[in-house]
Amino acid sequence: MKPKLFLALLLGTLCLKVTAQKNASADISSDSKLTVSRFIYGQFAEHLGHGIYGGFWVDKDLPVEKQDRIRLDIVNALKKIKIPDLRWPGGCFADEYHWRDGIGPRDQRPRMVNTNWGNVTDDNSFGTHEFLELCKLIGCEPYIAGNVGSGTVEEMAKWVEYLNLDGESTMAELRKKNGHPEPYKVTLWGVGNESWGCGGNMTPEYYSNLYKRYATYARDYPGAQLKKIASGPNSADYNWTEVCMKNIGTGMWGLTLHYYTVPTGDWGHKGSATNFNEGEYISTMVNCLKMEELVTKHSAIMDKYDPEKKVALVVDEWGVWTDVEPGTNPGFLYQQNSLRDALLAATTLNIFNNHCERVKMANLAQTVNVLQSLILTDKDKMLLTPTYHIFDLYKVHQDAKYLPVKLNSPDYEFNGNKIPAVNISASQDAAGKIHISLVNLDPHNTIKVSTSLGDLHWNKVSGQILTSANLTDVNTFQSPDKVHITNFNGAKKEGGKLSVALPAKSVVTLELN
């Protein structure tokens, strides 16, 4: 071959490659009877660091608006994004928490040492009634994790009775004495937490038998049929899922899955929340995308024993876990929250939306001041993190009709790693509006996404976007709105298709009318 001809062919190939890397295509179908459960957008509040004390529950003299000691700016922020449920009191804390210590006059409640998280003293001033008042103010459902690790069957049974019995019993009378004549009717109950680890270091065989014992005595009372959620696997422990599905089957409403994205993959040195390079960024996203594999494989095991998909996969702990901020208590798990973490949250929610046939509930870890928080506080100051804004963008999918998407995406490659640059999910709300959420993980290139919508009719499109100049950008108390939602004008109708110019490192939610 002549040198000039070879060079021309080589240049032509390179040009085609560059062009191909900047384009994606998607086909969205209306052929679905599935619903994206609003409970996929749940949150988690553990007695850990300043999540409860100094977060939701503040000193009576702190100069912020509050009801009792519940901080109302946090309540209002969570109401805005319509959080469906709040998980409490843990986490690892749940299996050393004894609920009777957290009721009655606060000055008479016993103090305890939080041995899981920093050995700090918990005065039990935030207990069952305070938590349920918080949920009432937010307008969300309470999700209570019962103590299986160090508690008893009777203890959990009496907690359910205390909260749910509309009748006469010692427990019901005690609830009335403590200021709540009507039953709370709490239906979401976790039967233990991480029973393979901090919840008791059990085998799946032992736990699944223990679950059945606890679940037997956690009674349904009129108007409060319990949704009992078993403590499921850690990450890729497929044997745990197999044993629980074989031994419990549809005797549970849901089975949990816990998976955290550790940027480095090394729990000894997880990586910084704010000081990372592009190599660490792509490794974070590689680890984030493992959620797709985990959900797929655990769902396949569940399908063997539950082909009708009656049992929910409940991913009630997920998110990015980095090293704590320098100078903070390592037991408090306080980390900053960057644009990278927002991209991770959006990608994960797209995965859950696209698996809504099995994933019917999830809870980000955690809501305030702990891990991948929605909200950070410092005394009377409060800010919304980039991750909070993702939940604001994605709230349109709650309880909407799921729209299946077939996506062809270019790759984003760096440092020997390769991932799809674009991910997506779509739904249609009760009013007929179509919502499409797109993520571009490529930090350098705008990607044009051409989308066909089949028999779905629409005339106009509007959108919102979350992005920033740098992947490491964060909101601080000095600059609380550095990363925020703005209007997006990069989508249009083009020859019957939806054409979107999706900026680098961005999350976009579109509304089609």
The per-residue pLDDT for range 212-250, each reduced to its tens digit, is: 999 999 999 999 999 999 999 999 999 999 999 999 999
Residue 325 confidence (pLDDT): 97
What CATH class does 36-400 carry? Answer: alpha beta
Contact partners, residue 327, CB within 8 Å, separation at least 6: none
Please give the torsion angle defined by the CA atoms of residues 430, 226, 206 and 235, in that order, rounded to the nearest 10 degrees: 20
Q: Across residues 493-509, what is the average pLDDT? A: 96
Residue 300 confidence (pLDDT): 98
pLDDT confidence tier of residue 21, bands split at 50, 70 and 90: very low
Where does CATH 3.20.20.80 sit in the chain? 36-400
Residue 5 confidence (pLDDT): 42
pLDDT tens per residue across span 327-337:
999 999 999 99
Q: Which CATH superfamily is domain 22-31+404-512 in?
A: Golgi alpha-mannosidase II (2.60.40.1180)
Q: State yes or no: pLDDT of 15 exceeds 90.
A: no
Residue 234 confidence (pLDDT): 98
pLDDT tens per residue across span 444-477:
999 999 999 999 999 999 999 999 999 999 999 9
Q: Across residues 82-108, what is the average pLDDT? A: 98
Where does CATH 2.60.40.1180 sit in the chain? 22-31+404-512
pLDDT confidence tier of residue 1, bands split at 50, 70 and 90: very low
> Contact 53/111 with Cβ under 8 angstroms?
no
Residue 495 confidence (pLDDT): 87
Angle at 435 between CA 420 and CA 343, to 5 degrees: 40
Q: What is the DSSP string of 351-402?
A: HHHHTTTTEEEEEEE-SBSSSS-SEEEETTEEEE-HHHHHHHHHGGGTTEEE
> Which amino acids are annotated catalytic?
194, 317
Contact partners, residue 253, CB within 8 Å, separation at least 6: 226, 227, 228, 229, 311, 312
Q: State yes or no: pLDDT of 19 exceeds 50.
A: no
Query: Per the confidence metrics, is the pTM higher than 0.85?
Result: yes
Q: State yes or no: pLDDT of 9 exceeds 70.
A: no
